[in-house]
Amino acid sequence: MYTVRRVAMHELSDFVAVLTLPERHASILAYVEHMFSQGAMRPEWCFLVEKEGEALGRAAFWTLPGKDVPSDIVLLDPPWEDDACGDQLWQDLLLMCKQLGAEQLGYVLDTPAMAPQWQESGPTRQTFLKKKGFHLQRETSRFEWKSDEPRSQEANGGILFRSLSEVGEASFIDAIMRGSASTLDRQIAQERADLGPYLQAKEIFHDLQSMSYEAHWWELAYTPENELIGFVMPTKSPTFATIGYIGVLPEFRGRGYVDVLLNRGVISLVQSGERYIRADTDLHNEPMANSFLRAGFHRFAQRSEYRVRF
């Protein structure tokens, strides 16, 4: 008989060791402890599945800092060869998640496997997720930028920038709403269709507000004639600095404005002390991918984003 139970703080070493090579323990433990400090994970959200006292698998819940309801599942590692054990782990996790008030859960799968989750057995994980009702929502290319060199402003052709402090929340939500029109990002397009342009833009804005940022980092770009061009909203997630959201209005696309906005976002993060930035873009959004490459980012992984609603 399998038992799923919460992990006590003194058992974290046992938790990170389950189904994991010894040389990877330190990276997973550092990740878990950092997530605790950021408020994205909690000790009571970490679980072991056992049989007769032997730990066979593990999983944990994750959410944006400051929120009390899990939004995702991480460190999902049941014994893949034991379907019954995996089923028991999922059933108990689902029950606990519902008790915490969640109505859905996400899961992201990165290829190739890397720290801190080390998601080996990608095809097996995909099969497990599909059997549990998860649906593939989005596939992205992942990019990262690393440098110890200062980043300089480039000529911007007379573009005017105004920060969140200057224009206010309503102007940013309006910019997001307009910039998300005819997007190449499939998930954003679907959410826009489901929620409506305004509610979706408002949700994006407030989700990004739950991360760490400074108001002067978030900027709207205008022509000298005061026409809105686009926006950039860099943030710091619980694990890395990122270009939280960036967009150019449809009527201004194809003119190189995205490169100017991306450079502004990178400079804001670099000036705050960041030397390592990550960002994702939909596999079909080649214009954005090319902008990252021009800005000195390199593609390091592919991510599949899954979600189940219950």
Residue 41: which CATH number?
3.40.630.30
User: Which alpha helices (H) appear in 104-239, and where do they start and end?
Assistant: 122-131, 164-167, 169-179, 186-195, 197-209
121 and 181 belong to one structural domain: no
Q: Which residues, in sequence order, are bridge partners of residue 309?
A: 104
Single residue among 114, 133, 152 that ends a domain in this structure:
133
Q: Determine the pLDDT at residue 65.
A: 87
Range of the domain at 24: 2-133
CA–CA separation, 97 and 75 (whole Å):
15
Residue range 13-52, pLDDT digits in tens: 999 999 999 999 999 999 999 999 999 999 999 999 999 9
94 and 22 belong to one structural domain: yes
The answer to the question of residue 138 being in a domain is: no
112 and 206 belong to one structural domain: no
- Identify the segments of the chain with pLDDT beneath 70: 150-155
109 and 170 belong to one structural domain: no
Residues whose CB falls within 8 Å of the CB of residue 237, separated by 6 or more in sequence, listed in order: 211, 212
CA–CA separation, 159 and 68 (whole Å):
41
Q: Determine the pLDDT at residue 208.
A: 95
Q: Determine the pLDDT at residue 152.
A: 65
129 and 195 belong to one structural domain: no
The answer to the question of residue 115 being in a domain is: yes
Q: Determine the pLDDT at residue 158.
A: 87
Q: Determine the pLDDT at residue 191.
A: 93
Q: Determine the pLDDT at residue 147.
A: 87
Residue range 164-204, pLDDT digits in tens: 999 999 999 999 999 999 999 988 999 999 999 999 999 99
Q: Determine the pLDDT at residue 1.
A: 85
Burial 226-243 (b: 16+ CB within 10 A, else e): eebbbbbbbbbbbeebbb
The answer to the question of residue 152 being in a domain is: no
234 and 171 belong to one structural domain: yes
CB 57 within 8 A of CB 48: yes
The answer to the question of residue 168 being in a domain is: yes
The answer to the question of residue 25 being in a domain is: yes
219 and 94 belong to one structural domain: no
Q: Determine the pLDDT at residue 197.
A: 96
pTM of the model: 0.89
Number of domains in the chain: 2
